[in-house]
């Protein structure tokens, strides 16, 4: 990257830039429609991001405006990645219209497909999610499962990555999945620069819980946030529930209850995710042996790190490092 201004100046796509087509359906949400352009367009010309409609004409949004994408469905056949942002579902709607399905049929085999929120309905209607784990906004879980029982639906995550098909939840998770694409394609350093340009967190775990409706603790109660910050600076050390509760000046039982209310996770599960997040960063950005990475993030042994990473990402630390080191060389 030549300058932090790249995110504003939006350099022209580089020769051979990866072509991304954003397919806008009728009733598209303007905010999410713009996410791929903003995030991927901030990657220093590494992506060429285009918009298309199913018939080449204007598209009605869910707001009081209409947008006119620059392309028709024919451009989908040229894409390396197709992203489907969310659109408003009409009452009683059971599946996308035939024009949307016909447009999606133009996509070449092997093209990477990404949905944001209700964009997953189009992928599912086309049979592309059958037998796969997928997600959309948590509020649509029951509706989605009724329509597409062959999909292994998971309402509790921000996004799901199957390599060739990715599905994400509502609104801000579209930012998460697009940053994830940048990380996959070009490594952590580029993704962090893009996040800085967009003024968003550089990484939220795809397995992080969606923010479903939960009662909030009364405002007069002390929160667990300061203790979470304290723990993040000590991930390489043993951190028991008793130690966390003592730092927060609460009983272990009260601390565990409030922690669950505020994060949607138990303290133990949250610590494991933070340690895995730190481990992934070290695997991507350093040459430390796996045993040292495990020690640095608070796992007792490399075997423990391997077990937890395999459960979360389905790969070993060495395989994870090879994947992201290969991507980081594409800068």
pLDDT digit string, tens, across residues 88-125: 986 556 678 899 999 999 999 999 999 999 999 999 99
In this structure, what token pair is assigned to residue 298?
């608070």
The residues, any chain, with a CB within 8 Å of residue 261's CB and separated by 6 or more, are: 214, 215, 216, 217
For the chain, the first-to-last Cα distance in angstroms comes to 9
Neighbours of 13 (CB within 10 A): 19
Range from 11-20, 189-198, 262-271 that averages highest in pLDDT: 11-20
Supply the pLDDT for residue 217: 46
Mind listing the pLDDT tens digit for each residue in 309-325? Answer: 888 777 789 888 876 66
Measured CA to CA, the distance from residue 118 to residue 226 in angstroms comes to 36
Look at residue 158 in the predicted model and tell me its pLDDT. 85
Residue 243: what are its φ and ψ, rounded to 5°?
-70, -40
pLDDT of residue 170: 84
d(CA 263, CA 250) in angstroms, rounded, equals 17
> 139 or 1: whose pLDDT is higher?
139
Confidence of residue 292 (pLDDT cuts 50, 70, 90): very high
DSSP state for residue 329 in the 8-state scheme: T
| Contact present, 285 and 321 (Cβ < 8 Å) | no
> Higher confidence at residue 241 or residue 96?
241
pLDDT at 8 exceeding the cut of 70: no
For residues 177 and 162, the answer to whether their CB atoms sit within 8 Å is no
Q: What is the pLDDT of residue 164?
A: 94
Give the confidence band of 154 by pLDDT, cuts at 50, 70, 90: confident
Q: Which residue has the higher pLDDT, 331 or 98?
A: 98
The confidence score (pLDDT) of residue 1 equals 42
Query: Each residue of 41-77: pLDDT tens digit?
Result: 999 999 999 999 999 999 999 999 999 999 999 999 9
Backbone dihedral region for residue 298 (phi beyond 0: left; psi -120 to 50: alpha; all else: beta): left
pLDDT range class, residue 204, cuts 50, 70, 90: low
Helix (H) or strand (E) holding 160: strand 159-161
Q: Which tens digit of pLDDT belongs to each residue from 31-40?
A: 999 999 999 9
């Amino acid at each position: 990257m030549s300058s932090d201004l790249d995110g504003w100046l939006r350099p022209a796509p580089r020769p051979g830039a990866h072509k991304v087509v954003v397919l806008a359906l009728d009733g598209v949400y303007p905010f999410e429609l713009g996410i791929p352009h903003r995030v991927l367009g901030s990657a220093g010309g590494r992506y060429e991001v285009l918009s298309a409609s199913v018939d080449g004409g204007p598209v009605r949004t869910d707001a009081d405006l209409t947008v006119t994408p620059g392309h028709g469905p024919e451009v989908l056949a040229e894409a390396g990645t197709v992203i489907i942002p969310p659109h408003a579902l009409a009452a009683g709607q059971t599946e996308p219209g035939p024009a949307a399905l016909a447009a999606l049929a133009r996509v070449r085999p092997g093209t990477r497909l990404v949905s944001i929120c209700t964009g997953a309905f189009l992928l599912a209607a086309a049979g592309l999610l059958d037998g796969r784990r997928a997600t959309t906004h948590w509020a649509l879980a029951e509706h989605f499962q009724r329509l597409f029982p062959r999909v292994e639906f998971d309402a509790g995550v921000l996004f799901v990555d199957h390599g060739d098909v990715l599905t994400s939840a509502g609104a801000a998770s579209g930012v998460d999945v697009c940053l994830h694409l940048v990380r996959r394609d070009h490594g952590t350093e580029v993704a962090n620069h893009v996040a800085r340009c967009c003024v968003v967190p550089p990484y939220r775990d795809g397995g992080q819980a969606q923010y479903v409706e939960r009662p909030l603790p009364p405002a007069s109660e002390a929160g667990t946030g300061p203790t979470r910050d304290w723990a993040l600076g000590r991930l390489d050390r043993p951190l028991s529930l008793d130690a966390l509760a003592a730092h927060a000046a609460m009983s272990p039982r009260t601390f565990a209850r409030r922690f669950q209310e505020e994060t949607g996770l138990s303290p133990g599960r949250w610590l494991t995710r933070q340690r895995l997040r730190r481990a992934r960063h070290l695997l991507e950005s350093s040459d430390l042996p796996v045993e040292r990475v495990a020690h640095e993030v608070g796992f007792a042994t490399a075997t423990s790190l391997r077990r937890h990473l395999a459960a979360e990402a389905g790969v070993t630390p060495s395989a994870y490092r090879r994947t992201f080191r290969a991507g980081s060389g594409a800068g």
